Amino acid sequence: MAEVQPVQTSSSDTTAMGERVEPVTPGPDLVGVGVERPHPPLNSQQSTIWTRRQQAVCVRHAYKHYGSKKNPNHVLSDLNMTVQKGTIYGLLGASGCGKTTLLSCIVGRRRLNEGEIWVLGGKPGTKGSGVPGKRVGYMPQEIALYGEFTIKETMMYFGWIFGMKTEEINERLQFLLNFLDLPSQNRMVKNLSGGQQRRVSFAVALMHDPELLILDEPTVGVDPLLRQSIWNHLVQITKDGNKTVIITTHYIEEARQAHTIGLMRSGKLLAEESPSRLLTMYNCSSLEEVFLKLSRKQGQANAPTPALPAEAQPQNMSNNISLATLNWDKKNESVFVTEESGVVGLNFHQSKEILIHEGANGHLDMNGGTKGGIMDSCDDCSCSNITSVGKIKALLQKNFLRMWRNVGVMLFIFALPVMQVILFCLAIGRDPTGLKIAVVNHETNYTNLTYQSCDYEMGCKFSHLSCRYLDNLKNGTIIKEYYPDPQSAQMAVRTGNAWGALYFTENFTDALVARMALGKDADDETLDQSEVRVWLDMSNQQIGIILQRDLQLTYQSFAKSLLKSCDQNEAIADVPIHFQVPIYGSSKPSFTDFVAPGVILTIVFFLAVALTSSALIVERTEGLLDRSWVAGVSPGEILFSHVVTQFVVMCGQTALVLIFMILVFGVQCKGDIGWVIILTILQGLCGMCFGFVISAVCELERNAIQLALGSFYPTLLLSGVIWPIEGMPAILRYISTFLPLTMATTSLRAMLTRGWSIIERDVYMGFLSTITWIVIFLTVSMLVLKFKRG
Ligand SMILES: Nc1ncnc2c1ncn2[C@@H]1O[C@H](COP(=O)(O)OP(=O)(O)OP(=O)(O)O)[C@@H](O)[C@H]1O
Q: What is the pLDDT of residues 469-509, one digit of tens each?
A: 998 887 678 999 989 899 999 999 999 999 999 999 988 99
- Do residues 619 and 765 both lie within one domain? yes
431 phi, psi to nearest 5 deg: -70, 140
Domain count, the chain: 3
Instruction: Give the single-character DSSP code of 285.
Output: S
- Do residues 439 and 365 both lie within one domain? no
> Which ligand 1 atom minimizes the distance to the CA of 97?
21
Nearest CA to ligand 1 atom 6: 66
CA of 321 to the centre of ligand 1 (A): 26
Tell me, what's the pLDDT at 753? 92
| Cβ-contact 632, 709 below 8 angstroms | no
pLDDT tens string 121-159: 888 877 767 778 888 899 988 888 988 899 999 999 999
CA of 101 to the centre of ligand 1 (A): 6
> Which ligand 1 atom minimizes the distance to the CA of 264?
21
CA of 285 to the centre of ligand 1 (A): 30
Helix (H) or strand (E) holding 503: strand 500-504
CA of 626 to the centre of ligand 1 (A): 15
Tell me, what's the pLDDT at 123? 84
Q: Is residue 204 part of a domain?
A: no
**Among the three residues 547, 573, 599, which one is the final residue of a domain in this structure?**
573
Q: Is residue 197 part of a domain?
A: no
The better pLDDT of the pair 2, 757 is held by 757
The complex scores an ipTM of 0.97
pTM over the 0.80 mark:
no
- Do residues 382 and 396 both lie within one domain? no
**Residue 16 pLDDT grade (very low, low, confident, very high; cuts 50, 70, 90):** very low
Nearest CA to ligand 1 atom 5: 66
CA of 102 to the centre of ligand 1 (A): 10
Nearest CA to ligand 1 atom 31: 96
Looking at residues 615-625, what average pLDDT do you find?
78
Nearest CA to ligand 1 atom 16: 98
- Do residues 724 and 629 both lie within one domain? yes
CA of 343 to the centre of ligand 1 (A): 27
Looking at residues 177-192, what average pLDDT do you find?
91
Tell me, what's the pLDDT at 233? 85
Distance in angstroms (rounded) separating the CA atoms of residues 9 and 30: 17
Q: Is residue 155 part of a domain?
A: no
- Do residues 372 and 495 both lie within one domain? no
Nearest CA to ligand 1 atom 23: 96
pLDDT tens string 234-272: 888 888 888 999 999 888 888 888 999 998 888 888 888
Amino acid, single-letter form, for residue 434: G
Nearest CA to ligand 1 atom 26: 95
Q: Is residue 627 part of a domain?
A: yes
Tell me, what's the pLDDT at 43? 60
- Do residues 29 and 61 both lie within one domain? yes
Looking at residues 159-183, what average pLDDT do you find?
90
> Which ligand 1 atom minimizes the distance to the CA of 101?
18
Distance in angstroms (rounded) separating the CA atoms of residues 491 and 482: 13
675, pLDDT greater than 90: yes
Q: Is residue 580 part of a domain?
A: no
- Do residues 444 and 415 both lie within one domain? no
Nearest CA to ligand 1 atom 20: 96
CATH number of the domain encompassing residue 26: 3.40.50.300
742 phi, psi to nearest 5 deg: -65, -60
CA of 98 to the centre of ligand 1 (A): 6
Domain span at residue 658? 390-426+590-789
- Do residues 398 and 483 both lie within one domain? no
Distance in angstroms (rounded) separating the CA atoms of residues 356 and 359: 5
- Do residues 403 and 301 both lie within one domain? no
Tell me, what's the pLDDT at 458? 83
Sheet strands side by side (includes 73-83):
73-83, 57-66, 114-119
The better pLDDT of the pair 519, 4 is held by 519
**Among the three residues 548, 573, 598, which one is the final residue of a domain in this structure?**
573
Within 8 A by CB and 6+ apart from 193, the residues are none
Tell me which residue of 330, 283, 278 sits closest to 83, measured CA to CA.
Answer: 330
Q: Is residue 271 part of a domain?
A: yes
The alpha carbon of residue 122 and the mean position of all alpha carbons in its chain are separated, in whole angstroms, by 31
- Do residues 267 and 284 both lie within one domain? yes
CATH number of the domain encompassing residue 478: 3.40.1710
Tell me, what's the pLDDT at 229? 81
- Do residues 769 and 693 both lie within one domain? yes
CA of 140 to the centre of ligand 1 (A): 13
Q: Is the omega angle on the peptide bond into residue 132 within 30 degrees of 0, that is, cis?
A: yes
- Do residues 215 and 297 both lie within one domain? yes
Nearest CA to ligand 1 atom 27: 95
3-class DSSP assignment, residue 271: strand
CA of 781 to the centre of ligand 1 (A): 25
Pocket test for ligand 1, best of 64, 66, 102, 247 (most atoms within 8 A of CB): 66
765 phi, psi to nearest 5 deg: -65, -35
Tell me, what's the pLDDT at 109? 81
Q: Is residue 499 part of a domain?
A: yes
**Among the three residues 528, 544, 573, which one is the final residue of a domain in this structure?**
573
> Residues with Cβ within 6 A of ligand 1?
66, 73, 75, 93, 95-101, 141
Tell me which residue of 79, 15, 118, 53 sits closest to 319, measured CA to CA.
Answer: 79
| Cβ-contact 208, 229 below 8 angstroms | no
CA of 142 to the centre of ligand 1 (A): 13
Tell me, what's the pLDDT at 547? 93
Neighbours of 292 (CB within 10 A): 14
3-class DSSP assignment, residue 677: helix
Q: Is residue 5 part of a domain?
A: no
Tell me, what's the pLDDT at 45? 61
